[in-house]
Structure 1
C-alpha cells in the first residue's frame, strides 16, 4: 500500500506513535510519505527503504503526489491523527482514509466528527477510547491497536552495568528514579516532590521537554530536557526504576503510555498511578491507588526489583512490528472488499 501522513508533527520531535507506525509499515514493504509539520524548501528525503520525509508539503502535494498515487498499483491511504485536518483530506485523493485516535484532548474532540464520519476505519490506542468511539459512531469500524515498544532502542539487551555516564547527568551517589517524557500539565508534580522527600537517598531524573508548563524548581528533581530518541537508553541505563506519575483526567485515563513499554523492556520496575491501561499491564507494572501507595511501592521496588525477565518478555510481545502487522491485516481486508 501507499501511505501518506499529513503535516501534524515533525519527524524528529519525540519519536511517537505516528513515526513508529509509519516506520513499521515501511519495514513491511509498504511505501510511506511522512510530511513534516515544519515546512521548508527541500527535496523529499529517504530515511529508510520505503520511508520518505516530505519537507515542502504543499509543493509536493500539488506536484509529485498525484503522479506517485496514480502510478501505484496499490491502494493509497491517508493516515490522520489530528481531527482538525479533516477539511484538507480530500486533497490527497486517497483510496482509504484512516483516523488514528491517539489522545482524548478536548480541543481535538471538538473537531472529530467530520473525520470519524469520513474514515474507512478508526484505529485507537486504549479501551476507553474504543468504547467512546463505538458509542458515538456506532456505524463506523473501530479497531483497538495499542502502543508498543521500539526494539531498535535496544533496551531489552543492554549490558547489566551502565555504559559511560552522559556528560549532563549530574553526579549523584544514590539511585536515580526516572521519568522519561514530556513535562506536561498531567504530570503530578506534588507526587514527585513528596516521593523525592520520602527517599533521601534517591533523586528523580526527568528527561523530556516542557509541554504546557515550566520545569519545577526542586533540588531533588533534575530536568535534562528533550533528548534524541536514540540517546534515551544512555540515561535509562542509570535509572533503578521508572515512573508514570500521571494525575487522573480525561486525557490520562484514556492513555496507553508508550513509555510503559519502553520502561518494561529494560526489565526494571515501573510504578504508575491508577490508570486503566497501566492496570491492564499488571503484574508487570505496579499501579498505586493513591500517593501513599505510590510511595510505598517505589520504596519497595528499590529494595526488590522483582522479575526483570518477565517485564522484558512482556515488552517483546508488544512491539511496533506487531502493531504494524495488526494495521496491515485490517487495511488489507478493507481494500480487498473494495
Structure 2
C-alpha cells in the first residue's frame, strides 16, 4: 500500500479545500493528513475516510526565522510529532505532499521517498526563500494557474498545471426543492457564492442593483467587514443570506438566473480560478465576472467578462436575456472536465510516470 504524508495549509473541514479534495481521491493509500495547529494540543488523530487519518500539528511560538533557535525548536517539535504518528502507523518512507512552502523545514527531519509541492496560491506573505527551496527540493510541482507555473519555473523543470476543480456530481444533481429564502423573492436572481472578504470589490454589484431594480441580488457566504456590502444591504433588492453548507449550495445555484464573480482589491490580477467559477459552470447558469484590464479571459465562450463596474451592470442585463441551451450545455462540459476526480487522476498519472505512486 502506498504511503503519503500530507502537510496541509488548511484544516480538514466540511468545506473541503483543494488539498482535501485531492487527498480524498488518492485511493489505495495510507495517508496521514497534518493540518495547521489549533488553539490547543490535540495528540489523537481522527479517521475521516478509509485510509485517511487527520492529525492537528502541535502549537508552537509564532517567531520570526531570525530568532533561529526558537524557530528551529518549533520546527523540531512539530517534526517529532509527525515522526511519532508515522511510527504509530508503521509508515517508513512516504511520499511527502506539501500544500505550503512551510514544508521545507521538515525535509531534512522526516524520511521520505519523494516530495510533491502543490502550489495553489501566492505565498508572498512568507519569506521567498522558503518557496524557492521547496520547489527546488520537489520531485514534481503542481501549480494552480499559469502565472504560478511561470513563477516557479526557474526553480523546477518538472512543473504541471493543475487548476482547481469542482465536485461535479454534487453540483449537477437534480435540485431537491427551492430554498425557502428564495421562494418569494421578486424578479430574476443574480447570485454570488463565497466569502465576502474585506477587500472584495463589490462596486460592480452596486451598479447591477441600480441597473436592474426588478432583479434581486443574493449573496451566500460568510461576511467580513466590507463598506460596500454595508451600502448594498440598505438597497431594497439585495439580500445577504449568510453561509450554507456545501451540500446546500447546489440548490441555491439552481435558482440563480445569473452568477456573479468579483475581484479582490489586494490581489486583482490573480489568475487562479476559484472553485467558485467551476461550481458556477456546473450550474449551467450565465456567469458575469469582473476582470482586470490585462487579464486573460477565462472561458470566453461562456463567461461574460467586464472590465468596469458600469459594464458589469450592462452584462448582467445581457446575461438575463440569454436564450437557447448551447451556452448552458457548454458550461457544464467545461465543469465536467474540471471535476476533482479528473484533477486527481491527472496528478496520479504524473506521479506514476516518475515512479512516485
Q: TM-score when scaled to structure 1?
A: 0.84
1:291-302 to 2 correspondences below 5 Å: 291-302=309-320
Q: Say which of 191, 208, 215 aligns to 1:202.
A: 215
Q: 2:148 aligns with which of 102, 110, 129?
A: 129
- Kept in 2, the 8 Å contact 1:123–1:144? The answer is yes
Other-structure match for 2:52: 51
1:165 paired residue number: 179
Find the counterpart in structure 1 of residue 306 from structure 2: 288
Q: Conserved in 2, the CA contact under 8 Å of 1:105 and 1:251? A: no
The separation in 1 between residues aligned to 2:20 and 2:268, in whole angstroms, is 21
Tell me the secondary structure at the aligned position of residue 299 of structure 2.
Answer: coil
CA distance in 2, matches of 1:286, 1:30: 42
For 1:4, the equivalent position in structure 2 comes to 5
Give the equivalent residue in structure 1 for 2:84. Answer: 63
1:36 lines up with 2:35 in the alignment: yes
8 Å Cα contact 2:198/2:226 also seen in 1: yes
How far 1:207 moved relative to its partner? 1.9
In the alignment, which residue of structure 2 is the partner of 1:303?
321
Contact persistence 1:178–1:242 (CA under 8 A)? yes
3-state SS of 2:121 partner: coil
- Deviation, structure 1 residue 268: 0.7
Which stretch shifts more, 37-46 or 312-321?
Answer: 37-46
State the shift of 1:80 in Å. 1.7
3-state DSSP class of the match of 1:158? Answer: coil
Partner of 2:65: none
Q: In 2, Cα distance between the equivalents of 1:90 and 1:207?
A: 44
Give the distance between the partners of 2:337 and 2:104, measured in 1 at CA.
34
**Counterparts of 1:4-153 in structure 2 under 5 Å?**
4-12=5-13, 14-25=15-26, 28-37=27-36, 38=38, 40-41=41-42, 43-55=44-56, 61-68=82-89, 70=91, 76-108=94-126, 110=128, 111-134=130-153, 136-137=154-155, 139-153=156-170
1:53 CA displacement: 2.2
Over 3 Å counting, the alpha-carbon distance change for 1:53 and 1:305 in structure 2 is: farther
**SS of aligned partner of 2:354:** helix
Question: For each residue in 1:77-115, what CA deviation from the matched residue of structure 2 results, as whole angstroms up to 9, or x when unmatched?
Answer: 222222234213444322222211111242146342222
Q: CA deviation at 1:157?
A: 3.0
Aligned to 1:156: 172
- State the alpha-carbon separation in 1 of the partners of residues 104 and 16 from structure 2: 23
1:325 and 2:339 matched = no
**Unmatched segments (≥5 aa) in structure 2:** 59-77
Q: CA deviation at 1:171?
A: 4.4
Identify the range of structure 1 (35-44 vs 181-190) with the bigger mean alpha-carbon deviation.
Answer: 35-44
**Alignment counterpart, residue 272 of structure 1, candidates 268, 273, 289:** 289
Does the C-alpha gap of structure 1 residues 98 and 52 become closer, same or farther in structure 2, counting only changes over 3 Å? Answer: same
1:255 to 272, 279, 288: 272
Determine which structure has more spread, i.e. the larger CA radius of gyration: 2
List runs of 5+ in structure 1 lacking aligned partners: none
Q: Indicate the SS of the match to 1:335.
A: coil
- The one of 250, 262, 273 equivalent to 1:233 is 250
User: Cα–Cα, structure 1 residues 7 and 259, in superposed 2: closer, same or farther, change >3 Å?
Assistant: closer
Deviates more, 1:214-223 or 1:79-88: 214-223
Inter-CA distance 123–214: structure 2 relative to 1 (3 Å threshold): farther
- Between 203-212 and 113-122, report the one with greater CA deviation: 203-212
Decide whether aligned partners of structure 1 residues 315 and 23 sit closer, same or farther in structure 2, where only a CA change above 3 A counts.
same
User: Per-residue deviation at 1:40?
Assistant: 5.0
- Structure 1 residue 231 displacement after superposition: 1.9
Query: How many residues align structurally?
Result: 326
Tell me the secondary structure at the aligned position of residue 204 of structure 2. helix
The verdict on how the C-alpha distance between 1:4 and 1:164 changes in structure 2, with shifts beyond 3 A counting, is same
